A and B are shown apart, each in its own frame.
Chain A
Amino acid sequence: MVYSSATQRGRQRSVNQGISASEIRDCVDAALARRGREPHRLLQLLVDVQASLNFLPAAALAQIASALDLPLARVRGTAGFYAFLSTEPWGRYRVLFADNITDRMQGSEALLAKFCRELWVEPGRTSEDGLLSVATTSCTGLCDQGPGMLVNGRAIGRLDSARLGEIGRLILERRPLEEWPAGLFHVDDNIRRAEWLLGPAAAPGAAVRAALDRVAAADSTALVGEIERAGLRGRGGAGFAVAAKWEACRSAPGHTRYVVCNADEGEPGTFKDRVLLSSRPDLVFDGMTVAAIATGATRGMLYLRGEYAFLREALDAVLVRRRRAGLLGSGICGSGVGFDIEIHLGAGAYVCGEESALLESLEGKRGVPRNRPPYPVTHGYLQQPTVVNNVETLCAAALVILGGAGRYRSLGTDRSPGTKLLSVAGDCARPGVYEFPFGVPVREVLEASGAAGAQAVQVGGPSGTCIDASEFDRRIAFEDLACAGAITVFGPGRDLFEVARNYTRFFAHESCGFCTPCRVGTSMLAHIMDKIHAGNGSQKELEEMGRLNAVLLKSAHCGLGHTACNPVLDTLKRFRPSYTRRLGSHTYTPAFDLDGALAAARRVTGRDDPAAHLENPP
């Protein structure tokens, strides 16, 4: 398939540049009417305007700044933080290929190259006629059905030549996304193993009624007590005791309490929250409501990562249904408890999964982790007491209240009771979501997913742990391999150096830039891995990475920096030959390639004769 070039497509007036002043004004007015004019609405306003106009024109930013009474630079600075927002026009169709290692293993690089070749567009640039731009983005959470991409924010999975060809045709025909075949956007849940959380769904609101009954029979501390007896721990990775968090929020002074559901599932290789939001939305909202009853919160917010924007419509519909059923609003189920939930969209920032950065983002700011103490339970959203829990944690909390702590305790291990949802992807026959009791050996997960013969498994994504075959008897539990549930499998042929290199690039891309060690260190790390990849590495680079790790561990502001070196250290320890075979010399090789630097000049002059090269290396 060969298409006409961008210039042949006619010098049509670029759609983006052609937006009229009144169109911009109307769009911002509509967003302001929808979202309000408080400063903490800033990010939601920017997301809305970006969705309508494909970018954020200067006039829109100025209008928003004036409506919210914020300095223009503050509005620009927030827009500049998030990867899905742009103050420069992109193409009418913005195509982002997911660039997680699982997408690459499924052939995303070749597909991207082919797509760009056929549509006459360079990666990272907008076509001359303004029709489309192509770039890469971090993991989109479709690892079980990749390679994935986002087109104007809409997720598309299972990319192959045929589907990309169809997408290319639709773009050239300038068909609006609403007219694209629905099959393109279909996302599977791929639930492969259900135990408790993913078992038969409880009736919507059952847990809320159970919570209200319990409180009526005893008092408001009854819920925290039951959660404590269950030993429920947070599923975001850190495993903090949920009861302690709820109790701290409940007893903290404040005029309004908030429950925040962290659905900013950005760890590459994780997608179980997507599946919960799509298959058990009522359970998620039940959990939030139970948390609200337990803590006295009156407002709930679900922070949905931008990549999952396609779930928003269905989630909003569930909220409407729940309001009608009396499960939300003032006087839930006829009680005196009032609570409602709204959905906030992220805009492409992994660091916002960190709870204090998430709160900053909810407040419409740049997603920079806060200094702690104080903690969110006392000084959270708008400095009020706030519970932030992961999607899976809230679902588990709802079921604990519904089924009792005893049932929960009967699953899992002593220190890690209950079950864990695992997002299994990579080199396995049956990728998808697996629910296992805590304590399950990695080997059992591999056998269930058809991943026998794996040489390595990344447990918990890039910030987690990479283990080799000798460690497959280790267990998924807080006392051994604590993780948020990403299980990425690497078969015998995979090059673990390339895996680590992909992950270091991810961290460099996602660093918020607040602190020196992470801002500079993650970039330096990515540069060093590129240098080794280019064959210019030496022992010095390996030592340098150890030094960077020490600096990041000791001085980075948050977990992103603390864990940024993990992929390199883990693979260096277990798969050292994949590094050493690339080392050019044992001492030092400069990164700068003098002859390579002349390549651009050779290209421009159309020369490639011996005289156009420095003395050729053999």
Chain B
Amino acid sequence: MSERPTFTLDGSEIPFEPGQTVLQAALAAGRYIPHLCYHPDFEPHGSCKLCTAASGGRTFTACTRRAEAGLEVQSRTEELDDLRRTLVQMLFAEGNHFCPSCEKSGDCRLQATGYDLGVMTAGFRHLFPDRPVDASHPEVLLDFNRCILCELCVRASREVDGKSVFALSGRGIGKHLIVNSPSGLLRDSEISSTDKAVDVCPVGVILRKGTGFAVPIGQRRFDLSPISAQALADAPRKEPDHD
């Protein structure tokens, strides 16, 4: 087997398979680049911008940039982490996030990323949008207040569940998640609590009813170790090479 090509990430050599993006290769090598809208099971689309990295003075989203041999990538610099902190602050200011009362606390990627990056303040004036919850479905709750518009549920429902339960409407700061049903309510949609779309939500928008607080706060995934230390778990689920 020939040597795999490599690029450097903050000075370390990262091997990659042709076709992999910078983020995919980094995660596969156990190196963390903060990200929220990326998920290994879906085509990256680069909307949250948390994974913004730089090379040769130009910035790009690491999740969409194809890895190239010899590329010198900077990611965990003070400047880029500062950018990421601002983006996290923007996401907190844009929605209504009350971590202490959120069922997802400790399992939430937005919260975990905020802690990991050292986001200490709100930074921006909160917009306090009016986003009513949809509790119409017997098994699944939708709390739009926490939506960060990563579109993972949109992609999962379309590509994995084959249902297209979710879509986006509006634009700009008015962009919002909508449900595919004549009434617009989840009750009248095709969703099932076993759908991938329910699992994939990185924050506390799509929640299974009847299971709340089954794991006590303090013992949840990101309570145990920071999100950056769990990068390997985010790597593509690929069988090891046997050659």
Contacts and interface: CB of A to CB of B under 8 A. Distances in A.
B168 A77 contact: yes
Interface in A75-108: 76-77, 79-81
Interface stretch (A232-240, A442-450, A506-514, A581-589): A506-514
Contacts of B181: 72-73
Contacts of B49: 515-517, 555-557
Interface stretch (A44-52, A258-266, A492-500, A519-527): A519-527
Q: Is the interface of A mostly helix, strand, loop or mixed?
A: helix
Contacts of B149: 513, 516, 519
B168 A551 contact: no
A62 B52 CA distance: 39
Query: Contact size class for B?
Result: 35 or more
A371 B46 contact: yes
A80 B91 contact: no
Given A77-B167, A555-B83, A509 B182 contact: no
A217 B171 CA distance: 51
Contacts of B47: 514-516, 557
Given A74-B164, A366-B171, A513-B173, A519 B94 contact: yes
Interface string A372-411: 0000000000000000000000000000000000000000
Given A516-B87, A523-B127, A557-B47, A76 B94 contact: no
Interface string A561-596: 000000000000000000000000000000100000
A522 B172 contact: yes
B132 interface: no
Nearest to A527: B125
Interface in B139-175: 148-149, 164-175
Contact of B87 (A73, A514, A517): A517
B178 A517 contact: no
Given A511-B171, A520-B93, A555-B87, A73 B125 contact: no
B45 A511 contact: no
Nearest to A521: B90
Given A73-B164, A515-B47, A524-B124, A81 B171 contact: yes
B8 interface: no
A71 interface: yes
A520 B126 CA distance: 11
A510 to B, nearest CB: 7
A513 B170 contact: yes
A80 B169 contact: yes
Nearest to A351: B171
Contact of B172 (A71, A79, A509, A527): A509
A556 B93 CA distance: 18
B166 A551 contact: no
B110 to A, nearest CB: 11
Contact of A510 (B48, B59, B94, B172): B172
B178 A520 contact: no
A77 B178 contact: yes
Contacts of B167: 71, 73-74, 76-77
Interface of B: 45-50, 52, 59, 64, 83, 86-87, 90-91, 93-94, 124-125, 127, 148-149, 164-175, 178-182
Given A512-B171, A515-B46, A516-B47, 10 more contacts: A73-B167, A73-B178, A74-B164, A80-B169, A511-B173, A513-B172, A514-B175, A515-B48, A516-B87, A523-B127
Interface of A: 58, 62, 71-74, 76-77, 79-81, 349, 366, 371, 508-517, 519-524, 527, 547, 550-551, 554-557, 591
